[in-house]
Amino acid sequence: MAELQTPRAAGRAERYLEPVADESFGVVQKPLSAWERLYNIGALRKLFLLAVLALIWEIYARSINNPLLFPTFGATVGALYDGLVHGALLLKAWTSIRVLLVGYAAGIGLAALLTVLAITTRLGTDLLETLTSMFNPLPAIALLPLALIWFGLGEGSLVFVLIHSVLWAVALNTHSGFLSVSMTLRMVGRNYGLSGFGYVRRILIPAAFPSILTGLKIGWAFAWRTLIAAELVFGVSSGSGGLGWFIYENKNLLEIPNVFAGLFTVILIGLLVENVIFRTVEIHTIRKWGMQH
């Protein structure tokens, strides 16, 4: 039998390499320019977009030159300033916000009750699914005639339609978030002996909070636009109307800059709630917990 022969290794001269400084490879980290630092600030980017939209508004309004049809951005800002400083616009805004908070809180409370029942009992699940199938497709504004008959011309009617607009969006998103919680977290809660409301509060709510927060945002948006629409129809509440009624009155008086100022106030309040209140909650909860980036 032939012997196995290993090939002879070719002789190689030993090489010694001197360590090279990092600076010789070029710039490792390049500092950002002033423009790049400004561009990385989200608030400045949004302000720039708003400024562009305001410029387009001003150019278009000047091109058609018809204040009754479309006032300029400058005229709208002037009407907004007069309404806030010298007029009743600030009082109208507070009237709307106060009614909104009552309806929003009541809707969230009812949604929480239905969702807890749905996640803890089978009968509660059937109840939530049946009610959402019946009432979620029903526009809140369609309940205005019944609200007028049942509660009269006042805050009760507004609160009723607000509860309807908030309840189903919050309940559906919360229940969906509860169902998406991983089985591992559920088993951890069971192993610790949690059940009932304690199980929901300690396990399900923290794990499903992204979906809950989404439901709160959707419920807020539904409630805000439902309130303005309801006030446009029967906006007098306890002798004084809100923003919707302010818009309606100035439309009848052909004070179109004031109409746009009222609409502008609705938009500003929406931006404030979305970018300050909900963003703060988001930063201190789901982003802090590493659930969103």
Residue 245 confidence (pLDDT): 86
Please give the Cα distance from 155 to 45 (Å, whole number): 39
Instruction: Give the torsion through C-alpha atoms of 140, 142, 144, 147, to 10 deg.
Output: -80
| Percent of residues, the chain, with pLDDT higher than 70 | 88
| Residue 12, amino acid | R
DSSP calls for 200-230: IIIIIHHHTHHHHHHHHHHHHHHHHHHHHHH
pLDDT of 149 strictly over 80: yes
pLDDT at position 238 is: 44
* CA-based R_g, the chain, Å: 30
Residue 102 has pLDDT above 90, yes or no: yes
In tens, the pLDDT along 194-214 reads: 777 777 888 888 888 888 999
Asked if 221 and 228 touch (Cβ cutoff 8 Å), the reply is no
pTM for this entry:
0.78
Band of residue 37 on the pLDDT scale cut at 50, 70, 90 = confident
The one-character DSSP state at 236 is E
Please say whether the beta carbons of 208 and 177 come within 8 A: yes
pLDDT-derived band of residue 110, with 50, 70 and 90 as boundaries?
Answer: very high
Nearest in space to 289 (alpha carbons), one of 215, 194, 186, 185: 185
Residue-wise pLDDT tens digits, 248-273: 888 888 888 899 998 989 988 988 99
In this predicted structure, the answer to whether residue 5 has a pLDDT above a threshold of 60 is no
8-25 pLDDT, tens digit each: 555 666 776 677 665 665
**Least confident window among 2-16, 163-177, 246-260:** 2-16
Look at residue 292 in the predicted model and tell me its pLDDT. 67
Determine the Cα–Cα distance for residues 167 and 135; give it in Å rounded to an integer.
10
Least reliable range by pLDDT among 77-86, 117-126, 226-235: 226-235
User: For residue 220, is pLDDT > 90?
Assistant: yes
Structure token pair of residue 146: 């019944």
Q: How many helices (H) and strands (E) does the chain have?
A: 14, 2
